[in-house]
Structure 1
Amino acid sequence: MYIEFEKLKEYGFTAIQTTKDEKDMKDEKNLEKIINKLNIDRKYLVKGVQTHSTNILCVDKNTDISDIKDYDGYITNDKNMTLLAYFADCMPMFLIDKNKKTFSLLHGGWRGSSNKILEKAINIMVEKYDANKNDILVVLGICISSKNYEISKDLADELLKNLKFDKIIERNNEKYYLNLAMLNKNIAISNGILEENIILNNYCTFDGNFFSYRKDKTTSRMAAIIKVGE
């Protein structure tokens, strides 16, 4: 089973996130099954080693995608490409230009999100791919919810000092919790994305049928995938 982000289908994209039912996506046998289900051509499958950076790879037909390392985001306007990244509490972010076929997939935990990988992707879409910000749709994927994402007071103070956004840190009984969805929604809005073009969801990796590193220190991962067409 996988979760499909229906809003993106309206614009000709397939975007999904796997569950535990599809098992560990870093296991090639399991990955092959989902690739076959989605009719993905492996020679155009973009995936690599993520490092919680804000590095974004722009992919075209001449890009070497055979051994991608140290990238946590991808952007392309090549309709043949499929973008894939791995998750187990961090947030996948899907971006599309609603009028063009430019699309992006980002991996954002607290480091990547607070260092504004989403802002970087929006700027690249505008500057390199000639996107209009009013046409960019941002889907914030399934991640750990704020009630399960406790962080230290020092980190909470640092994030509030550097980001200056409301409602990204929740406090309860002297404990501090990070709201990744609210953090990235604020970043999107502050960079000119229309609020009606930001899509959220009600799932939580900690509580739901997903792999959660915070819950059980698992090495298994879900996959988030986006491609043009069904």
Structure 2
Amino acid sequence: MGEMTEHWNHALCFLQFPAFLRWPFLRHGFSTRTGGASKGCFSSMNFSFDKGDDPACVRENYRRMAEAIGVSPESFVVARQTHTTNIRMVTEADRGAGVMKERPYRDVDGLMTNVPGITLVTFHADCIPIYIADPVRHAVALLHAGWKGTVSGIAGRAVRMMGEAYESDPGDLLVGIGPGISSRCYEVGEDVAACVREAFEEADCRELLICPHTDRNGILRWQLDLKRANQKILLHSGVQQQAIHISELCTRENSHRIFSHRAVGARRGVNAAFLGLVQETTDPKYS
């Protein structure tokens, strides 16, 4: 299953994959709504500066999360997501982009790096966070995968790009598929179902598009399993099945803990996924 476990730093609650904690050079986490500085509909751990929240509260949330996972706030590099398959290769020059300075890029739904001292950040409020780490080459990638990015193959593209840029072998990769909307709560229409059928083999579609039914208007709808869809893409890309860890936590069913667009709409905060590299440490917490 690979479920993420709950951790606390003072009043801040965050989630981590036990499999990733085994590697001293990795820092990672997924935020919850608990322990931040934001108020009202952003309560309390919102990471977006673009939703109307007080910027001082957002900056404080980044500071608290940095402390919790053991990185510097200056290390953050934040994606600029528009449901593409674009993945930016992050360098030292990008340090602080999206938190400490403006981002010199747009239309970026994935980030990758092999630079120690960089922490990648993506935003989520139902869409799937995908953490990829190469323990051999010491490289990482972090992805935002909604249905568009999923059917367009952002996960497979990340595996290929890591191979080209860092000589990563897919068989060496460690993957975490984090909290996101479950198939139980994710209904899609024929337009999305048709895209899924184009992207996957028929046998896979029978597992990914489930429970066909008609809604109150007589329109045929399906339930789509985004987490399993990305797992299948990763397996086809050469990642080992035992190396893929999947959180079954559904954002919509847990909107009191984690922000969910389908549960509450656009007036809300956003969760964030974090994945970064540090120099090797002897800290027993990460041994």
Question: Which residue number in structure 2 is paired with residue 107 of structure 1?
Answer: 144
Q: Is 1:216 the equivalent of 2:264?
A: yes
- AA aligned opposite 1:222: N
Deviates more, 1:168-177 or 1:61-70: 61-70
Question: Which residue number in structure 2 is paired with residue 225 of structure 1?
Answer: 274
- Separation in 2, partners of 1:3, 1:63: 26
- Separation in 1, partners of 2:27, 2:225: 26
Instruction: Structure 2: give runs of 5+ residues left out of the alignment.
Output: 1-12, 37-44, 49-57, 215-220, 279-285
- Separation in 2, partners of 1:133, 1:82: 22
| 1:11 counterpart SS class | coil
Relative to structure 1, the CA distance from residue 3 to residue 63 in structure 2 (aligned partners, 3 Å threshold; closer, same or farther) is: closer
- Separation in 1, partners of 2:160, 2:69: 30
Q: Is 1:2 the equivalent of 2:14?
A: yes
Deviates more, 1:188-197 or 1:167-176: 167-176
Q: TM-score, normalised by structure 2?
A: 0.76
Relative to structure 1, the CA distance from residue 178 to residue 82 in structure 2 (aligned partners, 3 Å threshold; closer, same or farther) is: same
2:66 to 25, 32, 35: 35
* 8 Å CA contact retained: 1:4, 1:14: no
Relative to structure 1, the CA distance from residue 132 to residue 2 in structure 2 (aligned partners, 3 Å threshold; closer, same or farther) is: same
* 8 Å CA contact retained: 1:5, 1:14: no
| 1:120 counterpart SS class | helix
Question: Which residue number in structure 1 is paired with residue 174 of structure 2?
Answer: 137
- AA aligned opposite 2:272: A
Deviates more, 1:84-93 or 1:7-16: 7-16
- Separation in 2, partners of 1:81, 1:172: 44
**CA drift at 1:160:** 1.2
Q: Is 1:173 the equivalent of 2:227?
A: no
String of CA shifts for 1:1-28, please: whole Å, max 9, x gaps: 1111111111222221111114212222
- Separation in 1, partners of 2:119, 2:240: 26
String of CA shifts for 1:99-136, please: whole Å, max 9, x gaps: 12101100000011111111110001111100111101
- Separation in 2, partners of 1:63, 1:222: 21
- AA aligned opposite 1:185: Q
Larger Rg belongs to: 2
- Separation in 2, partners of 1:85, 1:181: 17
String of CA shifts for 1:141-198, please: whole Å, max 9, x gaps: 1100001000112321331133223411112433301101110011001111111111
Relative to structure 1, the CA distance from residue 196 to residue 39 in structure 2 (aligned partners, 3 Å threshold; closer, same or farther) is: closer
% identical equivalent positions: 25
Instruction: Structure 1: give runs of 5+ residues left out of the alignment.
Output: none
String of CA shifts for 1:76-121, please: whole Å, max 9, x gaps: 1111111111110000000011212101100000011111111110
Question: Which residue number in structure 1 is paired with residue 27 of structure 2?
Answer: 14
| 1:171 counterpart SS class | strand
- Separation in 2, partners of 1:62, 1:28: 20
Deviates more, 1:137-146 or 1:42-51: 42-51
* 8 Å CA contact retained: 1:2, 1:17: yes
**Correspondence list, 1:44-63, <5 A:** 44-63=75-94
Relative to structure 1, the CA distance from residue 161 to residue 38 in structure 2 (aligned partners, 3 Å threshold; closer, same or farther) is: closer
Q: Is 1:77 the equivalent of 2:114?
A: yes
- Separation in 1, partners of 2:46, 2:127: 16
